[in-house]
Amino acid sequence: MTATTADAPPPDLRLPKRRGVELLLLIGAVLISVYGYAAVGLARNGAVPPDVAGYGAGLGLLALLAHLAVRFRAPYADPLLLPIAVLLNGLGLVLIYRLDLETPKDQAAPTQLIWSTLGVALFIAVVVFLRDHRVLQRYAYLSVAAALVLMIVPIFFPAVNGAKIWIRVGGFSFQPGEFAKILLAVFFAAYLAANRNALAYTGRKIWRLQLPTGRVLGPIVAIWLLSVGVLVLERDLGTSLLFFGLFVIMLYVATGRTGWIAVGLLLAAVGAFVVGSFEPHVHSRVQDWLDPFASIDAGRGPGQLAQSLFAFAAGGMLGTGLGLGHSILIGFAAKSDFILATAGEELGLTGLTAVFLLYALLVARGYRAGLALRDPFGRLLSIGLASILALQVFVIAGGVMGLIPLTGMAMPFLAQGGSSVVTNWIIVALLIRVSDQARRPRPDHVETGVIAPMAEDEL
């Protein structure tokens, strides 16, 4: 399949591009964000914030530029992806602005707006300059090398709040691990697309499990060691979990071997148990998860997790309303790791469910693109990227709601954090790119033999 043939399908096979729908949804997303911004001002000062028009115009302009890039460079892309990203990013800005009101000395929203702008710029750059996602396949080993460097560098920088995941240069700080996850997804997709048959059909069978051979087991053990290494050296349980979960999911999708899942879960359990027992930073979080109210009983007042649970509870079904909650009681991580608690308190279970469904929709659209694509690399890439979002949402949301031990991670688009926002915009750009490929009308006369061999289950 070549780009020229794909660009010129017969007119009668043309799928609706839905760019108009996207534009309407974008307008809706911007209006909802502006409404939220105004609601915070009304609740707190009894007046609409004076800069609401500027804020709306800024967000609207970003959305419009992104839309134009998609319209002209990826006309067949899924129309839901961009509006969801804009809505989540806008909502995140509203929540951070709202929390800024409680911390007059520490204003995070302006910085976040700058990073969001940079994120959208990179989104546009990816959509404009990356004409075909399959180009990335060529850079698989360069990607993994870059990812390793990015992950190793923070070890040489001092720990911030207990985790060594930051690089500080001048006034700026960013988490290289955030970028590494995209690079790793690209590498996994390329590696698995190339080796899936070898991974799926070799190795001994013990009872009902098809176990992999030592040669192909090498990479999975390497990845496991990498994530444990990240965990121990950087004290970053979240990233470690994310990398490992991502790898297991992509491996399973590529090979369909439940044996991999079993091995993966086993390794994860061993790693988590060992680290959870002996590494003090992680150990304390497990203790917190098991009994969030222990510090209250000990007379030291509620800890972060207890405060987070209080915030969610205070929201109830319908929430207190934007600007009217007290989630700032959570303390220093309220705008970053715990931002979901503000959503839970001020928007209630209703709003929280809506937020979760937005993420679910984003992930589902990524999976859908994966299903529709024909090349294994693109498939695995879109599944991988969507799974990054899904795992990240689960790990951090489950953490702040006491479902699983807390791991320091950013809620995609919502949380304060420049590297996170920029990375997520790149992920959405890549999803736009693959979905454009997936939905592009396929001239069926060019096929067979050009496409990579298919597994038997696709027939």
Partner 1 sequence: MIRYIRRAAALLLLLLVALLLNAARIQVLDADSLDDNPANRRLTIARYSQPRGNILVGGRSVTGSEDTGEQLKYERTYLHGPLYAPVTGYASQTYGTTLIENAEDDILSGTDSMLAPLPLWNEITRDRQPGGNVATTIKDSMQRAAYDGLGGRRGAVAAVEPSTGRILALVSTPSYDPGRISGTGSSVTDAWQELNASKSQPMLNRAIRQTYPPGSAFKIVTAAAALDADVVTDPDDETDTPSPYVLPGTSTTLPNEAEGCEDASLAEAIRVSCNTVMAELGVRVGLKGMVDAVRRFGFNDTGLKIPSGVAKSNFDTEMSDDQLALSSIGQFDTTATPLQMAMVASAVANGGDLKYPYLVDRTTTRGGSTVHRNGPRTYHRAMSQQTAMQLRRMMVDVVDEGTGSNAAIDGVTVGGKTGTAQHGIDNSGRPYAWFISWAQAPDSAQPAVAVAVVVEDAAANRADISGGGSAAPIARAVMEAALRD
Torsion, CA 216, CA 220, CA 226, CA 228, rounded to 10: -140
> To the nearest whole angstrom, how small is the minimum distance from the Cβ of residue 149 to partner 1?
29
Identify which range of 36-44, 221-229, 245-253, 432-440 contacts partner 1 by CB under 8 A. 245-253
Q: Give whichever of 40 and 329 is closer to partner 1, judged by the CB atom.
A: 329
Cβ–Cβ under 8 Å, residues 255 and 212: no
Within 10 angstroms of residue 98's Cβ, the number of other Cβ atoms is 26
Which span (61-69, 143-151, 275-283, 392-400) binds partner 1, by CB under 8 A?
392-400
**Residue choice 15, 316, 332, 447 for contact with partner 1 (CB under 8 A):** 316
Per CB under 8 A, the segment of 4-12, 18-26, 124-132, 349-357 that binds partner 1 is 349-357
User: By CB under 8 A, is residue 265 in contact with partner 1?
Assistant: no
Give the C-alpha separation, 138 to 47, whole Å.
55
The residue from 35, 139, 157, 252 that contacts partner 1 (CB under 8 A) is: 252
Q: Could you say which of 114, 353, 446, 450 contacts partner 1 (CB under 8 A)?
A: 353
Instruction: Identify any residues that bridge with 172 across adjacent strands, giving them in sequence order.
Output: 169
Minimum CB distance to partner 1 smaller for 160 or for 401: 401
Can you tell me the distance from the alpha carbon of 28 to that of 79, in angstroms, rounded to the nearest whole number?
13
User: Which lies closer to partner 1 via its Cβ, residue 64 or residue 294?
Assistant: 294
- Is residue 401 near partner 1 by the rule CB under 8 A? yes
Q: What are the contacts of 294-303 at 24+ separation with CB within 8 A? A: none
Q: Give me the 317-346 binding string for partner 1, x by CB under 8 A, dash otherwise.
A: x--------x--x--------------x--
Residue 281, judged by CB atoms within 10 A of its CB (0-12, 13-18, 19+), counts as: middle
Residue 25 in the binding site for partner 1 (CB under 8 A): no
Distance CA 251, CA 261 (A): 8
Strand stretches in 64-128, DSSP E: none
Q: Which two tokens stand for residue 140?
A: 């698989």
Side chain identity, residue 439: R
Q: Which is nearer to partner 1, 23 or 311 (CB)?
A: 311
> Could you tell me the smallest distance in angstroms from the CB atom of residue 457 to partner 1?
5
Q: Is residue 381 at the binding interface for partner 1, with CB under 8 A as the rule?
A: no
Residues 1, 68, 364, 441: which binds partner 1 (CB under 8 A)?
364
Q: Are the C-beta atoms of residues 153 and 230 closer than 8 Å to each other?
A: no
Q: Which two tokens stand for residue 75?
A: 């006309």
Contact between 221 and partner 1 per CB under 8 A = no
Query: Residue 396 CB, nearest distance to partner 1 (Å)?
Result: 10
State in angstroms the smallest separation of the CB of 259 from partner 1: 13
What's the min distance (Å) between Cβ of 12 and partner 1? 27
- Using CB under 8 A as the binding rule, whether residue 293 contacts partner 1 is answered as yes
286, 276 contact by CB (below 8 A):
yes
Rg (the chain; Cα; Å): 23
Among residues 165 and 311, whose Cβ is nearest to partner 1? 311
Question: Is residue 298 part of the contact set for partner 1 (CB under 8 A)?
Answer: no
- 431 counts as binding partner 1 under rule CB under 8 A: no
Q: Which of 114, 68, 54 is CA-nearest to residue 89? A: 114
Nearer to partner 1, 114 or 454 (CB): 454
For partner 1, the binding residue among 379, 439, 440, 442 (CB under 8 A) is: 379
- Can you tell me the distance from the alpha carbon of 400 to that of 402, in angstroms, rounded to the nearest whole number? 6
- Cα–Cα distance between 176 and 323 in angstroms, integer? 33
Contact, 345 vs 312, CB < 8 A? yes
Which of residues 184 and 397 has its CB atom nearest to partner 1 in the complex?
A: 397
Rounded to whole angstroms, how far apart are CA atoms 56 and 113? 12
The gap from C-alpha 345 to its chain's centroid, in whole angstroms, comes to 23
**Tokens at residue 429, please?**
């750009």
User: Which residues in this chain contact partner 1 in the complex, by CB under 8 A?
Assistant: 249, 252-256, 293, 296, 301-302, 306, 309-310, 312-317, 326, 329, 344, 348-349, 352-353, 356, 360, 363-364, 367, 370-371, 376, 379, 383, 387, 390, 393-394, 397-398, 401-403, 454-455, 457-458
